[in-house]
Structure 1
């Protein structure tokens, strides 16, 4: 059980840190917002950054962890199009970037499964 708490806290920390990065390095994240989305990329960047920070906070506390898992699942699904668009715009890049994207896509599925598991068992 202690290992699971470490993993949940690890996910909380990673989400919170990534959320902060949306505000520290906004251009990095805004560059991968699919242009088909209505409105400015900055809106989606800041909204997803806030969502990541809030989800990280929800995962940290036992009382809100189930909701945090559900929020993480929705978040991972919501940002997946940006990850796919990122892979698309870097499709002609060298192998290190291609390898990153080859690993990143299935990792998104694993993250969603993990978030669902937290939501299901912590509710």
Structure 2
């Protein structure tokens, strides 16, 4: 029987994925300048979050989806580093910007629980 943690994680990623389409400016703002095709990357990462979040719900795709989420979290980590190092985000408290970095590790660990 899947745990509540699994369902929460699935909902978090599905909601975050849809948010890429509802509030794309949020994601576009944190894209490092060296990443090409910002709009495409926001769209693809949103789709990935939705697909992988749904995939967590099914035993046949759960492990693959969890690994996919881990890869996605690693792939978007540069955006979190960019938030910490760029002057563009000084309006956010420093503790919030810095907290995002270890949070990625926690999210990776959480996804790993379902590999």
Q: TM-score, normalised by structure 2?
A: 0.89
- Specify the alignment match of 2:24 in structure 1: 26
Instruction: Please report how far the alpha carbon of residue 62 of structure 1 lies from its aligned counterpart in structure 2 after TM superposition.
Output: 2.0
**1:17-41 deviation digits (Å, cap 9, x = unpaired):** 0100100111110111111122x21
- Specify the alignment match of 1:61 in structure 2: 58
- Specify the alignment match of 1:106 in structure 2: 102
Instruction: Please report how far the alpha carbon of residue 91 of structure 1 lies from its aligned counterpart in structure 2 after TM superposition.
Output: 7.5
Over 3 Å counting, the alpha-carbon distance change for 1:63 and 1:27 in structure 2 is same
Q: Distance in 2 between matches of 1:5 and 1:72?
A: 18
- Specify the alignment match of 2:93 in structure 1: 97
Q: Which ranges of structure 2 fall in alignment gaps of 5 or more residues?
A: none
Root mean square deviation of aligned Cα: 1.9
Q: Which has the higher helix share?
A: 1
Q: Distance in 2 between matches of 1:6 and 1:34?
A: 35
Instruction: Please report how far the alpha carbon of residue 92 of structure 1 lies from its aligned counterpart in structure 2 after TM superposition.
Output: 6.7
Q: Distance in 1 between matches of 2:89 and 2:46?
A: 28
Q: Which ranges of structure 1 fall in alignment gaps of 5 or more residues?
A: none
